[in-house]
Structure 1
Amino acid sequence: MKLVDRPLYMDKIEKFIDKTVIKVLTGMRRVGKSTLLKIISDQSLNNINENNKIFINLDSLELLHVRNARDLAEHLKPLIYKSQGKLYFFFDEIQLVDGWEQVINGLQVNYECDIYITGSNSSMLSGDLATRLAGRYVNFEIQPFTFSEFGEAFKHLELNKEQLFQKYIVLGGMPFLHFFDLDEDPSYKYLNDVYHTVMVKDVLEYYQIRDVDIFNRILDYVMENISHTFSALSIRNYLKSENRKISVDTVLNYLDCCQKAYLIKKAPRYDTVGKKLLKIEEKYYLTDYGFRQARGFSNQKDIERVLENIVYIELLARGYQVKIGKVQDKEIDFIAEKEGQLEYYQISYLMENESTRSREFGVYQEIQDNYPKFILSMDIFNFSQKGIIHLNIIDWLLN
């Protein structure tokens, strides 16, 4: 199988190859972290003797017995002894091993080595653990395929960019979809299976959540309302209307667990006038909105909100920090920041009527700085005006 190159990540990772810092690839299950390890080994380290590359996949059947630091150390010893020279370690789904950081620290102390690890839970780099590895790791969060990567994966089908984008809207960007050639039935079956794997292994089991029904209802609410501002209180009130009692704290806890498993993303709201983050009415997005369609929601029906989700994940993949902007009583879809520079984005499905154009362009009148201001839509005509740049969303995604 030909691997799809992912230059957005490889350009960043290659700067740290053969450096003493630990390279940590995080992200939701099945977004391609293992494949990136293979690309690093086969392409960036293709001049290294294969005996000096040690791969440990903690998700494999052969390593089900390796679940603590001692087990992992014992498993590594014979692999290390048959190698000579600098060692390159690749640990996949390292969070499955209790105390794994002790092994990583020990390898760095005892051997000349370069270490790459993947994990599917952000808690692996939180609290005490971050302290133990402080200053000795660099983290890369991996997202599903961008539309550009999606097009590369399916270029053999010889579809035009509009046809590909229609498929991208309903299927999302999980890399394994490459095997189904855009056939929707097996794709949705796969997406449902991944969704349940993430939910069960990385949320319900990992955090020992017992009330599965309530948890599912909360997550379905988030799926239905992506790109809408809402609060934990609004979710509690929604469940109360269905005669389901739950506290706001429990709602927040469940949402936090889903974020730590990289299943959903929370975008904070930023008051551009008061220059401060707001604690209420945040927005949530799905790491892969294909789950939404597979779960029975219609991405075509909610096209504008799905487009917003697509742009949000794209900006994260491009390395931006993203917030929702509040300007007086109006909202800017995204304020994207990278290296101290800002960009503003408004997302619309179509701007064929004057009232829509007035709304989308009008919000920028409240912003006095000179940072780039964009409006993205499906229109093929260019409505740019007064220094505000209007782009076709497909062209922007492919740029």
Structure 2
Amino acid sequence: MGFLRELTEEYLGSLKYVARIVPREVELPRESPDIVAVVGPRRSGKTFVMLRSVERDLAEGLQALYVPLDEPSLRRLDARRFAEMVREEYREGRVRLYMDEVQDWEDWDSKLRWLHDVKDFQLYVTGSSSALQSSEIPSRLRGRYVSRLVLPFSFREVARAELGAEPSTFRERGALKGLLREYLAWGGFPEVWLYRSREKAVALLETMFYRDIVERHRVREPEALLELAYVVLSSYASPVTWRSLARSLKGLGVEVDAKTAASYVEYMRQAFLVFVVKRFAYSERLRARSPRKVYVVDPAVASLFERPLDLGRRAENVVLVELVRRGCEPGYYVTSRGREVDFAAKCGGSLRLVEVCLEVEEGHVRKVAEAMRELRLREAELVSWDDEDEREVEGGRVRVVPLWKWLLGA
């Protein structure tokens, strides 16, 4: 067994020491003509997903290697010498290379392009959020990539790990809703969830803030950025404009203009700390001029800024993250009468209208029906805490779905 296969076996062996494994539903493409870039927030499980994929490949008799490029003996290898090392391990046939900490490989972008172009390898790459962010990948790989987003655990992942099958009795449904309350409090970052630890959540957020944002973007006034982050994160799921953020900071004695406020929020977005949602409209000018809504990547972040837990906002945020996880592009919608519906999400070739309301009232139904007429949709969803039924409206229907069921994929 050569050096690269020994490294692979060492890292696969480390999976035995994971205290509790929550099976992930993230699937990396089995075959792709492009480099697969595995992206997502810090400590969300990108390396774990890659190792599990290597393990599966080897079990199926495929040729696969896990390559941690922070290994000192690999950092300065040129692409051809590295390819020779792979061929010493696997003499012929296509080899699947799972390359971690790719930012530590000198001139990694040109080396990856060469490895891709020789057609011997299927490449999967990921790296540190503080040094390699998804916004860099398109320009540096010059169109030779497809990305896969790895987010913290979904509720469905933790529910299947903790409780197993979908509930069928009142006991099982009660246990599931209790688990959902825990999830809304602790979120899905693996270490935070598994240990239910506020200290781990604080440490994670501090690392994301200082390494992935302040150091990564060389922010000259981190105190101003910290104040803005506090305002944004504590008012998640609420409409904001860059001018309103600047005014809020001025009230705190911090002078930041609207352009700088926009840049700071963009840094947070690039670090996968927040999602920025625009208004859904067919007019690009209207979209650009309307307020944004900023959501946090995980309930654990909200828990550090919100006491007591705001169940309604937390549920709305979790639905937003789940829409992103399912590959949708969410926006919020404002009807001609000025009524706001939480999400009008582009999902593939269709538009999905979703309103989150813990207790369904007739006003929610009328508002969603109005949006349906304007958007020419025949179906919409009201996500509740407990209610489940269907409401017939003019030209279509509104499905009322409990939050737990919607998160499980209803």
TM-score after normalising by structure 2? 0.82
Contact 2:54 2:66 in 1 (8 A): no
SS of residue matched to 1:333: strand
Query: Among 19, 25, 42, which residue is 1:29 paired with?
Result: 42
Residues 362/47 of structure 1: CA separation in 2 closer, same or farther (3 Å cut):
closer
Whether 1:4 and 2:11 are equivalent positions in the alignment is no
2:238 to 228, 247, 265: 228
Cα deviation, 1:79-128, whole Å, max 9, x if unaligned, reads 4353123332112232455531111112234561111012455974546x
In the alignment, the residues of structure 1 paired with residue 211 and residue 184 of structure 2 have an alpha-carbon distance, to the nearest angstrom, of: 27
Hey, what's the Cα distance between the residues in 2 that align with 1:82 and 1:299? 59
Where do 1:64-79 residues align within 5 Å?
Answer: 66=75, 70=76, 73=79, 76=82, 79=85
Of structures 1 and 2, the one scoring higher in RCO (CA 8 A, sep 6+) is 1
Deviations 1:242-268 (Å, cap 9, x if unpaired)? 111111111111111111111111011
The residue correspondences of 1:21-60 to structure 2 (distance < 5 A) are: 21-48=34-61, 53-58=64-69
- Offset, 1:378: 0.7
Partner residue in 2 for 1:174? 189
Following superposition, the deviation at residue 132 of structure 1 comes to 5.0
Distance of aligned partners of 1:276 and 1:97 in 2 relative to their CA distance in 1, 3 Å threshold: farther
Q: CA 1:236 to 1:175, structure 2 compared with 1: closer, same or farther past 3 Å?
A: same
Q: Which among 189, 201, 219 is matched to residue 209 of structure 1?
A: 219
Name the counterpart of 2:353. 344
> 1:283-319 deviations in whole A, cap 9, x for unaligned?
00111121221x242262x221111100000111111
Q: Is the 8 A contact 2:163 2:176 kept in 1?
A: no
Aligned to 1:389: 399
- Indicate if the aligned counterparts of 1:378 and 1:392 stay in contact, CA closer than 8 A: yes
Give the match's secondary structure for 1:361.
Answer: helix
SS at match of 2:43: coil
Question: Residues 60-91 of structure 1: CA distance to partner in whole angstroms, max 9, x if unpaired?
Answer: 6x55994xxx4575994674353123332112
**Higher mean C-alpha deviation, range 116-125 or range 208-217:** 116-125
* 1:376 and 2:391 are equivalent in the alignment: no
Q: Given the alignment of the two structures, is residue 87 of structure 1 paired with residue 95 of structure 2, yes or no?
A: yes
Shift of 1:215: 1.0
- The change in CA–CA distance for 1:63 and 1:237 in structure 2 (over 3 A counts) is farther
Most deviating of 193-202 and 118-127: 118-127
Which residue is 1:263 aligned to? 273
Tell me the equivalent position of 1:281: 291
Which amino acid in structure 1 is aligned with residue 66 of structure 2?
A: F
Matches of 2:352 and 2:308 in 1, distance apart? 27
Q: Show CA shifts across 1:202-230 (max 9, x none).
A: 11111111322111111111111111001
**Number of residue pairs the alignment of both structures matches:** 374
What's the offset of the Cα at 1:45?
4.4
Q: Deviations for 1:153-178, whole angstroms, at most 9, x for unmatched residues?
A: 3338x981011001001001112345
| 8 Å CA contact 1:226, 1:284 repeated in 2 | yes
Change (3 A) 1:389 1:73: same
Q: 1:146 to 1:97 in 2, by over 3 A?
A: same
Structure 1 distance, partners of 2:132, 2:68, is: 19
TM-superposed CA distance for 1:131, in Å, is: 4.4
Alignment of 1:149-188 (within 5 A): 149-155=157-163, 160-177=175-192, 179-180=194-195, 184=196, 187-188=197-198
Q: Hey, which bits of structure 1, 4+ residues long, moved more than 6 A? A: 272-275
2:340 to 328, 331, 336: 331
Whether the 8 Å contact between 1:147 and 1:173 is mirrored in structure 2 is yes
What is the deviation of 1:362? 2.6
Residue of structure 1 in register with 2:7 after alignment: none
**In 1, are the aligned partners of 2:341 and 2:367 still within 8 Å (CA)?**
no
Counterpart-to-counterpart distance in 2, 1:275 and 1:234: 19
Q: Which letter maps to 1:164?
A: L
1:397–1:124 CA distance, 2 compared to 1 (3 A): closer
- Specify whether residues 258 and 391 from structure 1 end up closer, same or farther in structure 2 by C-alpha distance, changes over 3 A only: same
Q: Secondary structure at the match of 2:265?
A: helix
Structure 1 SS opposite 2:389: coil
What are the superposed Cα offsets for residues 179-200 of structure 1, whole Å, 9 maximum, x if unpaired?
42xxx4xx21111111112222
Supply the distance in 2 between the matched residues of 1:64 and 1:262 (Cα, whole angstroms): 31
Aligned match of 1:244: 254
Q: Aligned residue for 2:372?
A: 367
Q: Deviations over 1:352-375 (max 9, x none)?
A: xxxx43145334224321342111
User: 2 CA distance for matches of 1:274 and 1:114?
Assistant: 38
Structure 1 counterpart SS, 2:217: coil
Partner of 2:322: 314
Q: Is the 8 A contact 1:169 1:306 kept in 2?
A: yes
Whether the 8 Å CA contact 1:348–1:375 is kept in 2: the answer is: yes
Answer whether contact 1:269 1:279 (CA < 8 A) is retained.
no
**Residue ranges of structure 1 left out of the alignment (5+ in a row):** none
- Matches of 1:279 and 1:150, distance apart in 2: 39
| Partner AA of 1:291 in structure 2 | V
TM-score norm. by structure 1 comes to 0.84
Shift of 1:140: 1.2
